[in-house]
Amino acid sequence: MYKKITIIIVIILGLALAAVFASRSKVNNFVPKSAKISVTASFYPLAYFAEQVGGDRVSIQSITPNGTEPHDFEPTPQDIITLRSSRVFFYNGNGVDAWADRVQPELIVGGVKVVAVSDAVSLMPTPVEQMVDDEREDKRIFNQFDPHIWLDPIRARQIAELIRDTLIVVDPSGADYYRGQFSDLSGRLTALDTDYTKSLASCATRDVIVSHYAFNYVAERYNLKLYAIAGMSPEAEPSAKHLAELTRLVKEKNITTIFFETLVSPRLAETLAKETGAVTNVLNPIEGLTSEDLSAGKNYETIMRDNLSALTTAMLCQ
Ligand SMILES: [Zn+2]
């Protein structure tokens, strides 16, 4: 009796195993071998670096859409589905894409390779005096480090290096390709750094008024002194007292230009310029492209060069 039952169980197990193998080989036949590696990035500059390094072997999607400021962005349920179905997710960290910190545990459980690119660079502490009151109180917005690392060409190169190494782990057969792509981008970023150093070496002033404190890493590398209308994020409303101080500063230091950004209202910069006789111009923190930027064929590298030209004019460099 027991023998009979044992034989029946063995036959059932055998059939089940055969069914599993059959369905597996069927599934395998449907996996397209030429599929690109799907990569998501939290916002534009990281998507740009991943696109440059990943080239033809990857398909990139920025979760923060064009024309949207990343500081106050929240992903939609559809964005979460897109993130879950990607192989790799690059995010910045340190407050500029705070939502990414929240969603990353579930992505990791789901098998997505999650990489915080700020791990690749040395970070500067966020100066408390650069935050407006709301930001000081809300520790969720900013932790202790300044997130705007992509605006420094040297740190940008280190970010691209981490992206290269990540893509090599995920897609080892493309290793040589990713190394070549990185090498091209690295050369261009090095040239960018050289041009910033040369063009900003000899200027009448080093004082620069920006819209929000996105340029601390640029200021540190190329020796600029920054003052911002808003705080660490662009939407933070400055007090009347702060605006009065800036008005005095512009007059005192003969500052020629009040910079504004493409993704936030220029209203305060225009008011300040009117009161002081300065002009306004764009200094772009490259947190996202507008549709005008896109149709003009602009990208991270061209905007970095536009910024350099705006700085040399404002600072009266030779
Ligand atoms: Zn910012």
Q: Each residue of 132-177: pLDDT tens digit?
A: 666 666 655 556 899 999 999 999 999 999 999 999 999 999 999 9
Output the CA 149–ligand 1 centroid distance in Å. Answer: 10
Residues of the chain with CATH 3.40.50.1980: 37-195, 201-314
pTM of the model: 0.86
Question: Considering Cα of 301, then 306, then 309, then 311, what sign does the dihedral take?
Answer: negative
> Does residue 29 surpass a pLDDT of 50?
no
233-267 residue pLDDT tens: 887 778 889 899 999 999 999 999 999 999 888 99
DSSP class of residue 280 equals E
Q: How far is the CA of 33 from the centre of ligand 1 (A)?
A: 40
C-beta separation of 121 from 159 below 8 A: yes
Q: What is the CA radius of gyration of the chain?
A: 25
Q: 315 alpha carbon to ligand 1 midpoint, in Å?
A: 22
Distance 148 CA to ligand 1 centre (A): 6
- Yes or no: say if 94 and 147 are a contact pair by the CB < 8 Å rule: yes
Q: How far is the CA of 20 from the centre of ligand 1 (A)?
A: 52
What CATH architecture does domain 201-314 belong to? 3-Layer(aba) Sandwich (3.40)
- Give every strand in the sheet of 225-228, ordered side by side: 225-228, 207-210, 257-260, 279-282
Q: How far is the CA of 214 from the centre of ligand 1 (A)?
A: 5
CA 224 / ligand 1 centre spacing (Å): 18
Per-residue pLDDT of 65-118, as tens digits, reads 999 999 989 999 999 999 999 999 999 999 899 999 999 999 999 999 999 999
pLDDT-derived band at 8 (thresholds 50, 70, 90) equals low
Ligand 1 centroid–CA 71 distance in Å is 6
Q: Please name the fold of domain 37-195.
A: Rossmann fold (3.40.50)
Distance (angstroms) between ligand 1 centre and the Cα of 70 equals 8
Nearest to 254 by CA among 230, 224, 277: 277
